[in-house]
Amino acid sequence: MLLAKTYDPEKNDPTGWYMSEKLDGVRCYWNGSAMYTRNGHLFYPPDFWKEQLPKNVCLDGELWSGRDDFQKIVSIVRRQDKNDEWKDIVYMVFDAPKLKLPFKKRIARLQELIPKDRKHIKLLEHTVCKDH
């Protein structure tokens, strides 16, 4: 999983980089059949929730339900009982790290794989940075 690094405006020109909103949720990796924390611990989403995720691609993203909702998200996703409270959680996908493609093409592929009408999985919008 990719991890954020400190941005140094003296050393880095972000022009042309892809950027997205920083979500305050719980980082999650989907391997095509199960969901894991960045440390490799399992999440236990209910079947109705997992049915919306693609089975043929690994995804990196954030489990999220809205701004200023971090404690609620953690209390739901850390449980090990496939609870129905997952109905309020959305998997905000920002990459498909195992696709052997440049980032721009991975995002295009994700746009094909994740229909916009899905309730529990969304592709996080990326914007090309114009300058500092």
CB-based contact 26:37 (threshold 8 Å): yes
Q: Which of 5, 22, 55, 130 is catalytic?
A: 22
Is 87 labeled as catalytic in the residue annotation? no
Q: Is 116 helix (H, G, I), strand (E, B) or coil?
A: coil
Alpha carbon distances (Å) from 11 to 8, 19, 62, 92, 129: 5, 17, 28, 30, 16
Residue 132 tokens read as 């500092």
Cβ proximity of 26 and 73 under 8 Å: yes
Indicate which residues carry an active-site annotation. Answer: 22
